[in-house]
Structure 1
């Protein structure tokens, strides 16, 4: 412990450092609860697809984007979207589509 004292006591110098890992454990809770359901992904490819979708959804959440709205918009626009402009559809650059206001 004495060899690691500087790292252990770092929270005393920087108030942004959390004393516990509760935030990290809360973030992983959904994966731990879904573990039994994911056990039967069907195949290795199915498990890889589930992991890719979990990554996309988590990335959207980390960028303060509604994952359901983002996925629905991206999947609808993807077939007609040019491949050279694919970066516009990434969660950190995506903008929700402007809804047209109908005349009342």
Structure 2
């Protein structure tokens, strides 16, 4: 890819795309070694349709910080559902255990564990 795009102008659309790809090459190719990573975001987008934002849904998010918290909660719930974990049971379990759980091991509380 580097050889092919060397003579291209970085201002050309194709040049911009190739440059972007080369910049993120390592992250982009991660799916080759991790079977949990999907090539598309279709599954995630399908899951998020159930919580699509509307004026009435988010009426009580009075600040950007509230909106970010609501988005984080939606993400955690959708992640639990995608991992075939009951979100209510998982949230109840995490809420009961998180205060005594070491910060360095918070990843152990994620739905796929």
TM-score normalised to structure 2 length: 0.54
Aligned to 1:41: 61
Q: Which has the higher contact order (CA 8 A, sep 6+)?
A: 1
CA contact (8 A) 2:90 2:111 kept: yes
SS in 1 for 2:57: helix
**Cα deviation digits, residues 25-47 of structure 1 (max 9, x gap):** 86344223x52221441111111
Q: For structure 2, list consecutive stretches of 5 or more residues without a partner in the other structure.
A: 1-41
Equivalences, count: 71
| C-alpha RMSD of the superposition | 2.3
Whole-Å Cα distance in 1 between the matches of residues 45 and 105 of structure 2? 36
TM-score normalised to structure 1 length: 0.58
Could you say if the C-alpha distance between residues 25 and 48 of structure 1 is closer, same or farther in structure 2, counting changes exceeding 3 Å? closer
